[in-house]
Amino acid sequence: MMRFNQAFAAGEVALVGAGPGAADLLTLRAVRLMEQAEVVLYDRLVSDEVMALLPAKCRRIDVGKKCGQHSVSQQRIGELLVHYARQGLRVLRLKGGDPAIFARLGEELDALVQAGIAYQLVPGISAASGCAAAAGIPLTERGQAQQLRFISAVDQHSATSQDWADLSAPNQTLVFYMGTAALGEISQQLQQHGLAADWPVLLVQQGCRPQQQIQLTDLQSAAAVAASLSTPCLIIIGQVALRYRQQQARLQLPTALQAKEQAA
């Protein structure tokens, strides 16, 4: 049974988006549910800053996944959600970003529905929205990007099973999740299907966190640049990425003017 209520009932599961990392980007509803949680199953992308808001006495279970390494299987996650809810506990499923975007939410909902467990969903700021904001760029732009595509670079069948001709249309922004390892192939395929080698690529690692790193590059150099960044890294491809360079130039302008005045 799906509910829309910030109250947290005993025996209920709340599937909550933890956003891109900064605790003050959480929704008010997310914080209120976190404060009532008795058991928390959390992903590796949930920041320490967000985890610090949980009650000291709640049980914390790490069910995070890393590329090629799953500490807990997806089936087991569903079983744990049902197990603790049936004990009458308030169970919080805490997911980085938004739980409805590339977070295998459907499989967890299936487990809850089949078991007859009440649940509620709380959206979070997605990794794409958070990283774009951290870089100071829009994801859409009139005359440049009339479409926005969220793409998983990894699925259960193929590392990059995509319609490359469709993705290579110039009037759109592509956001690749979990794509760092496949970035060489992504870049190659997009170039082979019509995008220029100097087509803009923005790489954002740990966006909206104090340790964030942002690199503006292009399709030709993206894989080499990404090798210097740790994973996970969000990949934003499209003309909107060039606004990051413009923003950086504006930030440096006062310093440049001061230097010019001093020289005069």
pLDDT digits (tens, 9 = 90+) for 115-170: 999 999 999 999 999 999 999 999 999 989 999 999 998 754 444 578 999 999 99
Residue 96 and residue 194 share a domain: no
Arithmetic mean of pLDDT, 44-70: 87
Owning domain of residue 76: 13-125
Q: Output the pLDDT for position 7.
A: 83
> What pLDDT, on the 0 to 100 scale, is given for residue 22?
94
**In the listed set 66, 97, 125, which residue is the last one of a domain according to the structure?**
125
Residue 150 belongs to domain with CATH number = 3.30.950.10
Q: What is the pLDDT of residue 220?
A: 97
Mean pLDDT across the chain: 89
The verdict on residue 261 lying in a domain is: no
Do 47 and 154 sit in the same domain of this protein? no
pLDDT in tens, 251-262: 765 554 455 555
Domain match, 19 and 119 both: yes
Q: Are residues 170 and 200 in the same domain?
A: yes
In a domain, 2, yes or no: no
DSSP string, the chain: -B---SS--TT-EEEEE-BTS-GGGS-HHHHHHHHH-SEEEE-TTS-HHHHTTS-TTSEEEE--EETTEESS-HHHHHHHHHHHHHTT--EEEEESB-TTSSS-HHHHHHHHHHHT--EEEE----HHHHHHHHHT--S-BTTTBSEEEEEES--SS-TT---HHHHT-SSEEEEEES-STTHHHHHHHHHHTT--TT-EEEEEESTTSTT-EEEEEETTTHHHHHTTSPSPEEEEESGGGGHHHHHHHHHHHHHHHHHHHHH-
Shared domain check, 96 and 158: no
- Does residue 256 form part of some domain? no
Q: Which residues are catalytic?
A: 43, 65
- My answer on whether 109 and 150 are in the same domain is no
Looking at the structure of the chain, the number of domains it has is 2
Distance CA 215, CA 241 (A): 10
In a domain, 54, yes or no: yes
* pLDDT number for residue 127: 95
Q: Are residues 45 and 151 in the same domain?
A: no
pLDDT in tens, 189-221: 999 999 999 999 999 998 899 889 999 999 999
| pTM of this structure | 0.88
Q: How confident is the model at residue 173 (pLDDT cuts 50, 70, 90)?
A: very high
- Please say which residue of 109, 125, 141 terminates a domain: 125
| Of 79, 95, 125, the domain-final residue | 125
Same domain, 218 and 235: yes
162 with 194, same domain: the answer is yes
- What percentage of the chain exceeds 70 in pLDDT? 88
Please tell me whether residues 160 and 224 are part of one structural domain: yes
Q: Quick one: which of 139, 122, 13, 132 has its CA closest to 77?
A: 13
Residue 257 lies in a domain: no
Round to whole Å and give the CA distance between 78 and 112. Answer: 7
User: CA 80 to CA 86: how far, in whole Å?
Assistant: 10
- What's the whole-number mean pLDDT along residues 94-101? 96
56 belongs to a structural domain: yes
CATH number of the domain to which 49 belongs: 3.40.1010.10
Task: Give yes or no: residues 45 and 118 share one domain.
Answer: yes
Share of the chain above pLDDT 90, in %: 73
Together in a domain, 133 and 237: yes
